[in-house]
Amino acid sequence: MLPSETNHTPPSGPPTGDLEHLFRQKFAEAEVPPRASLWEQIDHNLVVGQNETYRRRLLLYRWVAAASVALLVSFGSWFGLRYGGLSGGKPELAARTAASAQPGRASAVGTDAASSAAERLALGQSAAEAATAAASSTMSSSGMAANNGALAAGSASPQAAGAVLADAAVAASQRAAGFAARLGALAGAEAPRAGRTGTGSGSADFRSGVARSAGAAGGPAQLALASGPMLAAASQSSQSAGYSAALAELDARLAALQSGLSYGRPALLPQQPLVASLTSAPGQPADAEQKETAGRPRRWRLLGSYAASAYSPNADFSRPGASATYSSRNAPVGSPDSYGVAAAEYRQHLRAGLGQRAALTASYTMNKHWTLLTGLEAAEQRASSRTSYGFLDSHHAAVEAGAANMDPDIIQYRAPVSHATYYRYRTAGLPVGVRYGTAKPGVSVYAKVGAVVNVLLNSRAELEGAPEATKVYNLASASSPYRRVQLAARAGAGARYQPANARWSVSVGPTAEAGLNTLNADPNQSVLRRSRPYSVGLEASVEFGGKSNSLLTP
Amino acid sequence: MGALSAALGTANGLRSLLPDGLSASRPASSPSSSSAAVRHLTPPSQLSEAELIDGCLAGSRLMQKHLYDRFSGKMMAVCLRYAQTTFEAEDVLQEGFITVFNNLRGFRRECPLEFWIRRIMVNAALRQHRRNAPLVAVSEGEYPQDLAGEEFTLSNYAFEEMLAMVQELAPRYRMVFNLFAIEGYGHKEIGEMMGISEGTSKSQYSRARAILKSKLERLDAHRPNATFRN
């Protein structure tokens, strides 16, 4: 019962048609101008919506920046404590000592002061306090320590905090300045709010302080362009300054909007998308950035994901003909049976360990539901077993190493106590896959399958109580018993959440991976009887980019 | 345009004529800024759809206004068909254009922009209908199978008269009639869009059609040269 498409126009006379045709013809080209003020309302709503988007985006950037700094500092602290030992545990004191010992070298002092600030941040202190510490330690070199550090640490006055931050940036140069500016921007997350609810002047001064610190950071950065080694650091510093300046500007505009000064007055609102200024470094043409953004395919998105799983290497080092089992407990070392017994014991006690995987993935949206995924990933897997023979892998090297120190009377028999063995494998991989799901905001589910090509970069096997037996193989090791290139199939499913009008989403769900070839390089079993590694775990990912709403149901 | 650009001299000279603040803020050495400047001097009616879209995506308020001016009249006519009053239609139009500008980046340019905007307006009207329409149960009564057969002389009726007839329909009848007879959706699609069954859509359409037909007949009865044939 579709409406009639035929025109029932008779050969002569005025055109006629059925009811549907009549209405369709009359309504097809009709135009009714809306009232003149409607555009102003639409324009006003667009401006309000745009500012709301920027506000949310700014909030997200702050969270991401804070999380990144926290992660970096946490990892740095852990790395320092783990590998630096106690001698490296007093960087703050070292920085202060260096500052007082070399008062003339401002740049070195600034760098050390920034390091000191970073260490303080690791100890759980606030960003503002850390930045202030950088300022105060720098000032102490010229005898102007005063009590600015204590003043700003209390955060009683945003104005004072802004001034101290600015002084910190002016005093420090190059990387130190950029670092202080960045910390200043982070500290600004709370301080401007305090100023806004208070007198308001403090907030403005704080922003000017941050802006000054940004400008000061940009100055030495440009000077440093002449020196080659510092080029990277300088550009980073300059960019950091640009971010800070843009953040301060954006926050000021939002504050003005919220206070009603610019409400409904488009002339006072940003004529240029603030995101462009937020993402472009000073001195870089905004056009180039806009072109780059416009040229980027809208169907591409970026995912960062992390997976933790139980990983089993499931390796079988047994050889054909070696029928010995773990039950043949008295096989003497060096006998033909000893290898088989040790390999069987290895498998008997093989336990899954923690497998961790971090991946950076680009996704391409093919249509409404299907998405292609590919990227790069790095993974570390651990496993453990036990041995009475010092068996670590197929080389059986630890047996000989241990046997050489044994009493000749007992060398013929296995050691009475079994020791734990620990294995760690580090890989880099190239995953490809396809995901089925929806791109609509809200909560949805997804499922994905794919494969990954992994390169075993490094493997390490440790024998409990015998550090000299530790065996490490890297990519270049010709004697590695492990396969260098491994293939695996992967599947996962879970839930996805995307806030309304957001261009990011989070996903979490179980994932499983099954090896398509064995972990050990020379399996002795037939293809169908080989045991291959596998893992089961949870994966969480964050996806950025794409469009906020579905095209078909705007 | 190249001659015009040369006559005016530098890009700075062009930019000084621009009403749009965005273009004026661009660096003088940028070639894209000069082309944008020239583009802004083009009369709005001569701007292509692609230029309008690109301008809007670049954040130009002026281009957004041009796009609005080009399509607002037609879309207002669409909204009026779905709404009961002019105020309601303007609400739908406003919501629709905000959706258009917020989602323009997702427009794939595979069809004319007008079709895409029209669909957005229809969706906006549907949302408005869901918000406003009271949950009145309409029976899925019988409907005539043979709906065609009559003929109307197109020039006998004015747009305003027919618009008034449609606007006087009950909201659900009006929605179904518009979606089926004017937009060309099938009853199954309409059922999914409105959250009703296919049979309900058919039933409501037949009733709406019957009402409109009787109104047209009444209108014809008052005219000396009525050409309605059944």
Give A179-234 pLDDT, tens digit per residue. Answer: 444 544 444 444 444 434 443 343 444 444 444 444 444 444 343 333 334 434 43
| Res. A280 pLDDT band, cuts 50 70 90 | very low
- Per-residue model confidence (pLDDT) at position A510: 92
The shortest C-alpha distance from B21 to chain A (Å) reads: 6
Residue A242 has pLDDT above 70, yes or no: no
Residue type, A419: H
pLDDT value, residue B3: 38
* Mean pLDDT computed over A1-24: 62
CB atoms within 10 A of CB A336: 12
Residues A453-468 have a mean pLDDT of 87
Select from B59, B76, B216 the Cβ nearest to the Cβ of A33.
Answer: B76
Check whether A237 has a pLDDT greater than 60.
no
Whether B57 sits inside 8 A of A294 (CB atoms) is yes
With beta carbons under 8 A apart, name residues in chain B contacting A16.
151-154, 227
Helices assigned H by DSSP within A80-157: 91-101, 106-122, 127-141, 148-153
Rounded to a whole number of angstroms, the distance from the CA of A474 to the nearest CA of chain B is 47
Residue A40: is its pLDDT beyond 50? yes
Q: Which of B98, B113, B202 to mutate to test binding with chain A, by most A CBs within 10 Å of its CB?
A: B98
Q: How confident is the model at residue A135 (pLDDT cuts 50, 70, 90)?
A: very low
pLDDT band for position A253 (cuts 50, 70, 90)? low
Question: Which residue carries 């843009």 as its tokens?
Answer: A246
Instruction: Report the pLDDT value the prediction gives residue A3, as an integer from 0 to 100.
Output: 45
In a mutational test of the B interface, the residue from A32, A48, A268 whose CB has the highest number of chain B CBs within 10 Å is: A32
Q: With the C-alpha atoms ordered A10, A16, A17, A18, is the resulting torsion angle positive or negative?
A: negative
State whether residue A292 sits within 8 Å of chain B by CB: no
Residue of B94, B156, B180 with shortest CB distance to A38 = B94
Q: Within an 8 Å CB–CB cutoff, is residue A553 touching chain B?
A: yes
Least confident of A74-78, A120-124, B19-23: B19-23
Interface probe with B: pick from A25, A35, A42, most Cβ of B within 10 Å: A42
> For residue B90, what pLDDT is reported?
94
Out of A14, A49, A501, whose CB is closest to B153? A14
pLDDT of residue A84: 62
Q: pLDDT value at position B116?
A: 94
Specify the pLDDT at position B136: 52
B chain contacts of residue A286, beta-carbon cutoff 8 Å? 25-27
Q: If we measure between CA atoms, which residue out of A425, A459, A423, A426 comes closest to residue A351?
A: A423
Contact status of A300 with chain B (Cβ, < 8 Å): no
Spatial contact of A238 and A232, defined as CB atoms under 8 Å apart: no
φ/ψ (deg, to 5) at A465: 80, 0
The pLDDT of residue B76: 96
pLDDT of residue A116: 46
Q: How far apart are CA B169 and CA A106, in angstroms?
A: 81
B62-132 and B154-221 in the same fold:
no
DSSP symbol at A188: T
Give the residue with greater pLDDT, B211 vs A122. Answer: B211
Average pLDDT, integer, range A503-516: 90
Asked whether the beta carbons of residue A15 and residue B73 sit closer than 8 angstroms, the reply is: no
Q: Judge whether residue A527 has pLDDT over 70.
A: yes
Pick B154-221's CATH classification: 3.40.50.1970, 1.10.10.10, 2.60.120.920, 3.40.91.10. 1.10.10.10
- DSSP β-bridge partners for residue A427: A379, A456
- Is A551 touching B (CB cutoff 8 A)? yes
HSE on the CB side for A240, CA within 13 Å? 29
Which residues from A are below 8 Å from B202, CB to CB?
A: 1
Q: Determine the pLDDT at residue A211.
A: 41
Any chain B CB within 8 A of the CB of A30? yes
Mean of the pLDDT values across residues A524-533?
Answer: 82
Cβ-based burial of A73 (10 A; exposed 0-12, middle 13-18, buried ≥19): middle
Q: Flag whether pLDDT at A278 surpasses 80.
A: no
Select from B61, B153, B181 the Cβ nearest to the Cβ of A20: B181
User: HSE of B131 in the Cβ direction (CA atoms, 13 Å)?
Assistant: 10
Q: Span A291-302, mean pLDDT?
A: 60
Comparing A143 with B45, which gets the higher pLDDT? B45
Give A368's pLDDT tier (boundaries 50, 70, 90): confident
- The predicted pLDDT at position B65 comes to 93
Residue A499 sits at the chain B interface (C-beta within 8 Å): no
Domain ranges of chain B: 2-41, 62-132, 154-221
User: Minimal Cα distance from A26: which residue of B?
Assistant: B159
Percent of chain A with pLDDT over 90: 19
Chain-chain contact of A43 with B182 (C-beta, under 8 angstroms): no
- Looking at residue A97, its pLDDT comes to 43
- Chain B residue with minimal CA distance to A267? B21
Decide if A266 touches B, using CB distance below 8 A.
yes
Q: Could you tell me if A306 and A537 are in contact, meaning their C-beta atoms sit under 8 angstroms apart?
A: no
pLDDT of residue A524: 77
Q: How far is A163 from chain B (nearest CA, A)?
A: 31
Nearest CA in chain B to A6: B148
pLDDT value of position A255: 54
Which chain A residues have a beta carbon less than 8 Å from that of B107? 551
Which one has a higher pLDDT value, A353 or A477? A353
Query: Buried b / exposed e across A528-545, counting CB within 10 Å, b at 16+?
Result: eebbbbbbebebebebeb
The predicted pLDDT at position B73 comes to 95
Question: How close B195 gets to chain A, by Cα (Å)?
Answer: 15
Name the residue in chain B with its Cα closest to that of A48.
Answer: B98
Determine contact: A22 vs chain B, CB below 8 A. Answer: yes
Residue A87 above 70 pLDDT? no
Mean pLDDT by 10 residues, chain B (230 residues): 37 37 37 47 79 90 92 95 93 94 90 93 93 59 54 82 92 93 93 91 93 88 60
The CATH T-level fold of domain B62-132 is Rna Polymerase Sigma Factor; Chain: A (1.10.1740)
Q: Does A16 touch chain B (CB under 8 A)?
A: yes
Please answer whether residues A109 and A100 qualify as being in contact, where contact means their C-beta atoms are separated by less than 8 angstroms.
no
Please tell me if residue A408 touches chain B, with a CB cutoff of 8 Å. Answer: no
pLDDT band at A132 (very low <50, low <70, confident <90, very high): very low
Interface test with A, best of B97, B120, B146 (most A CBs within 10 A): B97
Q: A43 and B26: CB-CB below 8 Å?
A: no
A306 token code pair? 């992390």
- Residue A516, chain B, CB below 8 Å: the answer is no
A-B Cβ pairs (cutoff 8 Å, strict): 159
Task: Report, as an integer, the average pLDDT of A265-280.
Answer: 40
pLDDT level of residue A427 (50, 70, 90 thresholds): very high
Q: Give me chain A's average pLDDT, please.
A: 66
